[in-house]
Amino acid sequence: MKRLLSIALAGLLMGGMVVAEEKLSMSAQDRALYEEMLENNPADIFVEEGAEHLEELGGEEALAKFLEIDEEELPKYLAGFPRYIPKIGMVVAIDQMLQAFMYDRGKQPYPLKSAEMDGFAAYVKSLANGEKINIDVNANEAMQAAYRLGEEVFKMRRGKRGLSCDSCHSKDVVGLRLRMQILPDLGDPKVKAAATWPAYRMTKGKMFTLQKRFQQCMKNALLAQIPLGSPQMVALEVYVTNMAKGQEIQIPGLKR
């Protein structure tokens, strides 16, 4: 029965896919726009605003002090998110850490869904540009649990169609097309998945964090969206980020 269900699901997916060509899933016009945006990424404006947010809170020195590390260690430390923060008492992504930092500095934290937080998180993560993702899912019991939960969420079939993240990113379907987009291997260095978010999405005309991108995938698959910052969503970011371990961080990214 389990094998029959797997075959049926594969058939459902294949109905909307064709074998991918090597070229991007873009028209010549869209590709020209993409090349132009590589030189002038609209997300740079939001990142600059994020720099102002950090400066108002005391800059990199204050952030390093909050994280209880030396300032020169900040880039490498930021390359390890999501991570467990003892004073917060849980595994958090960068944006949640920044909420706690703002609160600690006597400021009202930006909501996770806000554009202000997107820009703030993008700038702070950009401080790690050039560093390689060094997330450690075996650092402690909290990270180990988050990784296990993230794997469970990634592979969990949900909704009437019984789809999961793995339905579009398993080795069985990587390289095929779905709705004119090539289904990528999230661990492929050429894809630069977790290493390039937050990013500007051309098709949406705005910034997205990795968790917001997850929500868009869920919406497109007609699945209930897991809330931003929830244990399940953070765990999913842990799992996907670990796939990109060792890849160079390049923020802000630019996506179709």
Q: Quick check: 89 pLDDT over 70?
A: yes
Range of weakest confidence among 41-45, 84-88, 122-126? 41-45
Q: How many helices (H) and strands (E) does the chain have?
A: 11, 7
Range in 108-112, 155-159, 206-210 with the lowest mean pLDDT: 206-210
Q: What is the mean pLDDT of residues 163-178?
A: 73
Average the pLDDT over 22-38 and give the result.
52
Instruction: Write down the pLDDT at residue 187.
Output: 65
Task: Please report, as a single letter, which amino acid is at residue 34.
Answer: Y
Is the model's pLDDT at 116 over the cut of 80?
yes
Domain covering 17-255 assigned CATH 1.10.760.10 in the classification: yes
Whether residue 20 has pLDDT greater than 80? no
Mean pLDDT (the chain, rounded): 84
158 has a pLDDT exceeding 80 = yes
Q: Mean pLDDT across the stretch 158-162?
A: 90
CA-derived radius of gyration, the chain: 19
Q: What is the pLDDT of residue 9?
A: 37
Which carries the bigger pLDDT value, residue 87 or residue 35?
87
Contact 208, 158 (CB under 8 A): no
Domain boundaries of the chain, sorted by first residue: 17-255
What is the per-residue pLDDT for 180?
Answer: 56
Reported for 112-118, long-range contacts at CB under 8 A and 24+ positions apart, including other chains, are 112/211, 112/228, 112/229, 113/212, 113/228, 115/46, 115/206, 115/207, 116/49, 116/53, 118/46, 118/198, 118/207, 118/208, 118/209, 118/212
Q: Are 235 and 91 in contact (CB under 8 A)?
A: yes
47-71 per-position pLDDT tens digit = 999 999 999 999 999 999 999 999 9
At residue 39 the predicted structure's pLDDT band, cuts being 50, 70 and 90, is: low
Q: Is the pTM of this model over 0.85?
A: no
